Structure 1
């Protein structure tokens, strides 16, 4: 072992606390990088393999009713590799008199063969037998949530017909990875089901003998998707085509894609913050060490060591700390990634999800860690190269403090000596202190911004379920019906108020941008479900245009006063140009609002409604639920309380846990900055502090001189961190907002207080560790000189 290697090991042991703190900051940055890139790779690879294995369609083409021979015409379209037709429809499941009917989707499977596209993954039981129209395969997640098993029976109402079905199997499917009740955005396994039946069974139920109402297309590698969709629409238009759409617009796939994009955004934002802080800390530590070891550097050069050998010694120290932190981050990233896999399996119904390591993330973590660490020490190593033996072995020139602040007059009278020493130190090294302030403020900003985002989720829930939706439940009809049928709902004992609504599926176009969604037809002055403006005041829905949600307006690049084209996908499927008259604030989904009568006039279908919002007496809820089950026009019932509880559960189990993770991360940054600043100050002032003890200062007074400046730095960082956190909360909210949901930037006093608490605790722990070292200091050794 060479002398420089032995010196390296001794130096690392001497600064082990600082090295561990810096390594922890690097480790957290690499952990986030490895975990997030691994999750992205796992989700993308598992999704790709799952889609390919079970042959998920590339294009979905719903239609009102098309003859079976149209499948051959679709198969002859250029770019189409395979075609599968099927029958789908809405269903209601009755699990007992004390429960609401559960909304479900019925999907057909070929009687005597496996489906060419959109196959299912059987998890329990067996597949359907040909000719057995009373058998059903049920979505696995729903069956588990309500306690159903193969062999059990259930009652389902489809197209007004009540059927007794026997469960023969449980299954999962790639098109139902993320399942939500119709009209909602949050999964609830117990409130939505998928039923797979033989095609002959659904042909009889939905009057589709020899016909289909949905075509599935897979494309060749060289296919032009847009041209295939346009050709399929032209072919199915005469049969009531509802508009073909690509896999990208499938609801389940959209949610997973948004999750992957959110992870990619976090990967680009979070790790660089930690690595930049680590580079700053390494610069301070190595700079202090070089300054303290000037004489040793001079002696090494005088005995024949070259500039490269001496500089390489300090560079190896930097590499050792960076490499150790990167290795720890890689290991912890694997552990954290595997733990996160269970969370994703809960929300996204993959049959399996194995955490897949991305080799590039390890390489990127190591390279970026070393580069950032090298950047932090590069300026210091320049001073090592510049030192000649003669200059290095002389004491450094005393620093010029003639221009630093002086305390005279009232300041000298009212400030005691230790306080003046603390303030003098701050004015003599302003750049170093400013760097420490920025480092601590970064930890505050990250913690405060993430806490603010979680507060924004609460704000989103309050606005959606408290201000906008003031109903107790919503009812969906099987098809648009006459408005007077709503009177049947109002006549139910316990129903206090009924407000009709019409939901019309449509493609909204503005220039080259388009969005597949629905038009919400509401009363001009709705009471139970309202559109609101920025000030949360209800908007009056005029009859001369359409009101868009903020997210949808941004998606289409449209503002008030411009014109939208609506391609309605039901009934006569008209194409209507409608002016945009206002933009509303809504944080869940991307709705578009029109006055109900104006919408019906545009469709030339007066006095039609497709659902209603209800305000009910909670004491009579069971009677209302039982009455709704017996109404053939009812396709689904949704309780607002259940929808809100589902969203709250998602937030608590998913994003809610982020507040503790981010608090820990912020604590790591803050602890690393404060602890290193304290240890550097202690090493630089060891002789001064020992002299104060000899002059009669107590241990508490000596600790006050050192820790007082750290307290001032921390206090200065609090307002700066709040300001940085305010700006960062806007950046993060914009990065995580999608067309599915919008996260409002909300910076609250509570989130700032949470961040302050984390920082102050980290500062107290750092101060306690440094004070312990001050109390244990050897005064004789500290006061010795080496001349």
Structure 2
């Protein structure tokens, strides 16, 4: 039963994670198709609607739509700071050809009523808003009051973050949909668009289309077309699916390997105990294959029973997690489904793993001849085994010498137990270190790198004179400028669509740090890359990087990499602010600022910032940190807790089964000790001391294996959106060792109960 449950857990993880991957991929595909999510996004400054006719005839393009988008600030009475929002237009009539919405309640806005909007459902729920309520928002520098007529979700906003942040937060970011004519009037875009959407025949061949679109839109201030693979919401979804795939490759094999290890021991003990029956059967004419099939059926019964239970539990667990993913990733529907082939695969893999565990033992059945098998087994020859040294004999009493002799005479069996326990401990060590890595990410990103209190983002790049306005607010201690420019990085065959962050030479509030957590100065020449970006582009300090700027004059630059910064959130790139402005030929420009403020005057500061017309968004560091904590706890973090629990289960399973098997093998010996005068405690010591020594020897090996396992798991969880560094916390080894010791003590207590209850008469009977 215990081994069957281990198999069931392995199959559960296989079915659950495979089903989640399939369900998420299928739901995403269906959601994208039903609401016609574009495969190409092309933002620009302003273009006449007539440009759409020139784009629709491009080879490979199936549909084209133009729309108006813009930033907005929502003013809620219970919020100190304005909340960031994105305004998006909907066609005046009918559904959108591309990027349509999923209306969850209410109706679409009436184009004849400019004040009607549809609001993102999750933001509305977070603030208790519903159709019929009124909402105040600042758009294009003017405050307006809108009527909410509907709530909606959209496939392009499965995962949405406030400006300047990577982490989504339903409380602080909203999407407002308005009719095209109404939103065009707000942003002075009548007869024009500032974003173009394209549907293509084959997304895998969209590179040529992107180049052609950029050429056509260059006169209109094109900011660089990009494909769905670079869309932030889709990228987060893709990373979540990849994380599940990584876990699915790591976890189930561990369970099945443990089950195979335990089955090998169990079947070996059974054949050793029943060798005389095997000899009798052979003497009566039973073939080796028939006898082996008897034990193989026992193995298959365990494997198939465990697999069937695992399939059932996997479906139930998958459905439960599917509900979580539906709410967290804002899917309007998500039905958990498993490919029937996964049930077959889970059963087949379980059978193969279980058969592998017993096959080497079953080969011994063929080697047993009836005459040999029907005789009691010859006493083991320990003449070549290690001997107890004289000093060890003097230092140990009789029970202690019995324990030492058994370990020395059967080193292979002891080594198997040591490796099994070490495997369980190594997974615990690795997961505890990975959990500490998430904590380090939080501390490094929000304490050492970002030392500000809040970040302000502007609607567009502004003159740095705006900094004096911020500095003049009473209670603002320090203001540090920043400029973000959208670019395309290239190095060899590698490319990445991201942004360059311009920082002042004497940066204090938002620093780039090296591996030793020392600030990297911004040099007048060169660029500093985040570690994740450097790995993606396969560059190191001294390499030359090609940078295609996607704003303004859109120059193509060759910039040397001067350093690699230790970053754990996002894939940033840093340049000296003055140098960045010079190469763009736009001196003294900024797109935002980091502020350090007097917390005792924050209410007054927030009110004044709220009144500034050029603000696109305000990000409080402590709220961004809370959002990131929610992210890691609900996505990769949820898996780390699950794997930590799995490590505990494996550790206990191996320790307990090792103790049970050792007790079953030595029940006659232990009963003999009781008969010749050993007390219950002394008898239990002979068995449990062996288990204790094996457990203690496994601890350093488990720590060593866990050291290397940290690197593999950290790499599996890391993405270009956030990185999990491989760090080693001494406490993790202590906690993992303590967990194994507790499992061993509990297992020993359970086995000691059986030793105390042993039936001496039955145990001492011999079959002859």
Query: Is 2:135 the partner of 1:154?
Result: yes
Report matched runs for 1:246-645 at 5 Å: 246-645=227-626
Residue 182 of structure 1: SS of its match in structure 2? coil
1:528 deviation in Å?
Answer: 0.5
- Structure 1: any 5+ residue segments left out of the alignment? 1-19
Matched residue, 2:62: 81
Say whether the 8 Å CA contact 1:104–1:195 is kept in structure 2. Answer: yes
Q: For the Cα contact (< 8 Å) 2:425–2:647, is it kept in 1?
A: yes
- 1:705-744 correspondence runs (5 A): 705-744=686-725
Say if 1:78 and 1:223, in contact at 8 Å, map to a contact too.
no
Residue-by-residue CA offset, 1:410-442 (whole Å, 9 max, x unaligned) = 211111111111111111111111111111111
CA distance in 1, matches of 2:483, 2:695: 57
Partner Cα distance (2:500, 2:507) in 1: 15
Q: Aligned-residue CA RMSD in angstroms?
A: 1.4
Structure 2 partner of 1:680: 661
Question: Which residue is 1:14 aligned to?
Answer: none
Unaligned 5+ runs, structure 2: none
Residue from 183, 199, 214 that aligns with 1:218:
199
Is contact 1:64–1:242 with CA below 8 Å preserved after alignment?
A: yes
Distance 1:413 1:140, change over 3 A: same
Measured after TM superposition, the shift of residue 53 of structure 1 is 0.3
Q: CA deviation at 1:54?
A: 0.3
Which of 95, 111, 124 is equivalent to 1:130? 111
1:66 maps to which residue?
47
Q: How far, CA to CA, are the matches of 1:655 and 1:235 in structure 2?
A: 41
Deviation by residue 1:605-656 (Cα, 9 ceiling, x = unmatched): 1111111000001111111111011111111110001001111233344444
CA offsets 1:5-25 (integer angstroms, 9 cap, x no match): xxxxxxxxxxxxxxx221122
Partner of 2:171: 190
Q: 1:127 to 1:98 in 2, by over 3 A?
A: closer
User: Does structure 2 conserve the Cα–Cα contact (< 8 Å) formed by 1:473 and 1:640?
Assistant: yes
Separation in structure 1 between the aligned mates of residue 360 and residue 367 of structure 2, nearest angstrom? 11
- Say which SS state the counterpart of residue 573 (structure 1) adopts: coil
1:198 Cα deviation from its structure 2 partner: 0.8
Identify the range of structure 1 (645-654 vs 251-260) with the bigger mean alpha-carbon deviation: 645-654
**Contact conserved, 1:97 with 1:626, CA < 8 A, in 2?**
no
Change (3 A) 1:493 1:222: closer
Structure 1 residue 588 displacement after superposition: 0.1
1:702 maps to: 683
Contact 1:343–1:654, Cα closer than 8 Å, also in 2: no
CA contact (8 A) 1:663 1:755 kept: no
Q: Residues of 1 paired with 2:6 and 2:395: CA distance?
A: 40
Superposition map of 1:656-695 within 5 A: 656-658=637-639, 660-695=641-676
User: Following TM superposition, by how much is the alpha carbon of 1:144 offset from its aligned partner in structure 2, in angstroms?
Assistant: 0.3
Residue deviations 1:90-122 (CA, integer Å, cap 9, x gap):
111111274210000000001122110100000
TM-score by length of 2: 0.98
Indicate if the aligned counterparts of 1:439 and 1:669 stay in contact, CA closer than 8 A: no
Cα distance in structure 1, aligned partners of 2:100 and 2:633 = 34
CA contact (8 A) 1:311 1:384 kept: yes
Deviates more, 1:22-31 or 1:51-60: 22-31
Matched-pair contact (CA < 8 Å) for 2:164–2:457: no
TM superposition shift of 1:403: 2.2
> Would you identify which runs of 4 or more consecutive aligned residues in structure 1 move more than 4 Å?
653-660
Task: Tell me, yes or no, if the aligned pair for 1:98 and 1:622 is still in contact at 8 Å.
Answer: no
Note closer, same or farther for the CA distance 1:227–1:396 as it changes in structure 2 (3 Å cut). Answer: same
Query: Deviation per CA, 1:485-525, whole angstroms, max 9, x where unpaired?
Result: 20000000110110111111111111222111111100112
| DSSP-derived class of the 2:465 partner | helix
Query: Secondary structure, in 3 states, of the residue corresponding to 1:190?
Result: coil
Counterpart CA distance in 2 for 1:435 and 1:340 is: 36
Instruction: State the distance in 2 between where 1:185 and 1:58 align.
Output: 22
Equivalent-residue separation in structure 2 for 1:222 and 1:127 (angstroms): 30
CA shift for structure 1 position 732: 0.6
| Shift, 1:277, TM fit | 1.4
Matched residue, 1:26: 7
SS of 1:189's equivalent in the other structure is: coil
What is the CA distance between 1:537 and its match in structure 2?
A: 0.5
CA deviation profile, 1:76-98 (whole Å, cap 9, x unmatched)? 10111111100111111111274
Residue-by-residue CA offset, 1:176-201 (whole Å, 9 max, x unaligned): 00111122122210100000001111
Q: Is the 8 A contact 1:79 1:223 kept in 2?
A: no
Would you say the 8 A contact 1:80–1:223 is kept in 2? no
Contact 2:118/2:149 (<8 A) preserved: yes
CA distance in 2, matches of 1:755, 1:656: 18
Query: Given the superposition, is the C-alpha separation of residues 429 and 257 from structure 1 closer, same or farther in structure 2, using an over 3 Å criterion?
Result: same
Question: What are the Cα deviations for residues 244-273 of structure 1, in whole angstroms up to 9, with x where unaligned?
Answer: 111111000000001111111111111111
Separation of aligned partners in 1, 2:654 and 2:610: 63
